[in-house]
Amino acid sequence: MALPLNSNLGALAPSGIRRFAAMAREVPGCVSLTLGEPGEDTPTGIREAAREDLAAGLTHYPPNAGTPELRRAVADFEGRWGLPLSPDEVVLTIGASEALASTFAAILDPGREVIVPTPAFSLYASQTMLMHGVPVSFDTTATGFQLREDALEKVVTPATRAMVLNSPNNPTGCVLDAASLDAVAAVAARHDLYVVCDDVYAELSFDPAFERFAVRHPELADRTVVVGSFSKPWAMTGWRMGWVAAHGEVAAAIAKAHQFLVSCSPAFVQRAGQVALATDVTPLRDAWHRRRDRVVAACGAMGLPLVPPQGAFYAFPRVGDLLGPDGRPMGSEAFCERAIREAGVALVPGTCFGSEGYVRISYACDDATLDEGLTRLAAFVEKVRG
């Protein structure tokens, strides 16, 4: 007889993003615009720091929350954004994913709810469920992926414990405007809620007016958790390096959860993290900005409605009006499956982010790959329209 497993885990589906990336690999020559991974390699200076420290024998346990030097570097980095932190309010994590897991482990009790504005990265809901919490989706498609206080108020219940913000957003590339940030602040203050800010794309905003929630609303510092990552801005996805910052007993609770989950992040990568934080990301950001412009123009030429991305390296055009052979709306999963088989281009369906009728295009790849993928996508859309 099979022994029981965690029922919450059994309710979770494997990553849809990875599923469509795997489908693309099975088709020879398929152009994959699926994964949110920079096509560039980690800058040389960052790699050299890790190589030197590994050669020097930094292979033993560092402090659980990270070396004092890297915690200070993160605090200084956030300070330049206008977010005052002390090093003891920073925990170095195994990527932003572990930072989020440690946060949810620290703030959730069984049955407590986490509001997740959708479309959203599926990890928020999955990790909430693994921590025996309840994710509550909050659809933002009708408001151009922005948040409005009256609508947000309607999904708050006595069980609500937290809200998650991701700006710039995966999968839309949109940034939350001032009204959205203020709406969250008002609801969080009124109902004593945590605000978990997944700020992993903050360095990749193209909008000069971009604001981070924690900076705009310092009066809510006691309930704001900030998550950061080295993966996207410095092309370090394989390093699995991130951080989480909070104040007072919240930071201490997250550090405790982190200690029990992973103990610590590796010793020989931490000075490399300091080098990364001192490395200018402007060249990478500018390259993605240029690619964004090409994606926006291409979607316009295809007649696919799109809220122009203002950061990260994703676009989220609407395909819900395209019809299948039976004359009914095709659906984003069918669209993506056919695009792989018939056109040799792979995207991610909006269902993976809680929003049917859309697809995510990742333009984190190199220029040639992006241009070929967009050419194939245009031909496929024209074919579907007949």
Model confidence over 156-198: pLDDT tens digits? 999 999 999 999 999 999 999 999 999 999 999 999 999 999 9
| CA–CA dist 306, 201 (Å, integer) | 20
283 burial level (CB within 10 Å; 0-12, 13-18, 19+): exposed
pLDDT band at 17 (very low <50, low <70, confident <90, very high): confident
Q: Could you tell me if residue 3 is inside a domain?
A: no
CA neighbor of 177 nearest in space, from 153, 204, 143: 143
Note the pLDDT of residue 301.
Answer: 97
Q: Domain span at residue 313?
A: 10-41+282-385
For the chain, where are the E strands, in sequence order? 31-32, 90-93, 113-118, 134-139, 160-166, 194-198, 224-229, 242-245, 314-315, 345-346, 348-349, 359-362
Domain end point (choices 245, 277, 309): 277
Domain match, 69 and 210 both: yes
Contact predicate 291/370, CB 8 Å:
yes
Query: 199: domain CATH number?
Result: 3.40.640.10
Q: What percent of the chain has pLDDT over 90?
A: 88
What band does 6 get if pLDDT is binned at 50, 70 and 90? confident
Q: Specify whether 196 is located in the same domain as 310.
A: no
Picking from 147, 122, 175, the residue whose alpha carbon sits closest to that of residue 11 is 122
Residues 352, 217: one domain?
Answer: no
Residues 128 and 224 both lie in one domain: yes
Q: Are residues 189 and 56 part of one domain?
A: yes
Does residue 81 register a pLDDT over 80?
Answer: yes
On whether both 17 and 52 belong to a single domain, the answer is no
Rg over CA atoms, the chain:
21
Question: Model's pTM, two decimal places?
Answer: 0.95
In a domain, 27, yes or no: yes
80 and 206 part of one domain: yes
Whether 297 and 171 map to the same domain: the answer is: no
Tell me what pLDDT residue 244 has: 98
Domain's final residue, options 231, 260, 277: 277
Confidence of residue 19 (pLDDT cuts 50, 70, 90): confident
CATH label of the domain that carries residue 300: 3.90.1150.10
pLDDT at 16 over 80: no
> Would residue 5 count as lying in a domain?
no
Euclidean distance between CA atoms 255 and 253, whole angstroms: 5
Domain contains 115: yes
Q: Residue 145: what pLDDT?
A: 98
Mean pLDDT in residue range 64-71: 98
CA distance 118 to 362: 18
Name the nearest CA neighbour of 365 among 30, 40, 25, 17.
Answer: 40
Q: What's the domain count of the chain?
A: 2
Answer yes or no: is 152 within a domain. Answer: yes
Residues 195 and 295 in one domain: no
Q: What is the spatial distance between Cα 252 and Cα 248, in angstroms, rounded to a whole number?
A: 7
pLDDT band, residue 327 (cuts 50/70/90): confident
pLDDT at 20 over 90: no
Instruction: Point out the domain boundary residue: 277, 302, 318.
Output: 277
Per DSSP, the three-state class of 72 is helix
Q: Are 205 and 321 in a shared domain? A: no
Domain co-membership, 168 together with 265: yes
Residue 261 lies in a domain: yes
pLDDT of residue 177: 97
φ, ψ of residue 52 to 5 degrees: the values are: -65, -40
- Claim to verify: residue 163 and residue 249 sit in the same structural domain: yes
Top pLDDT among 143 and 2 is at 143
Q: Are 179 and 148 in contact (CB under 8 A)?
A: yes
Q: Do the domain assignments include residue 1? A: no
Q: What is the mean pLDDT of residues 72-92?
A: 97
Provide the pLDDT for residue 206: 96
Tokens 């002390």 correspond to 86
| 2 assigned to some structural domain | no
Whether pLDDT at 13 is above 80: no
In which band, very low, low, confident or very high, does the pLDDT at 9 lie, cut at 50, 70 and 90? confident
Q: Which of 300, 303, 295 is nearest to 370 (CA)?
A: 295
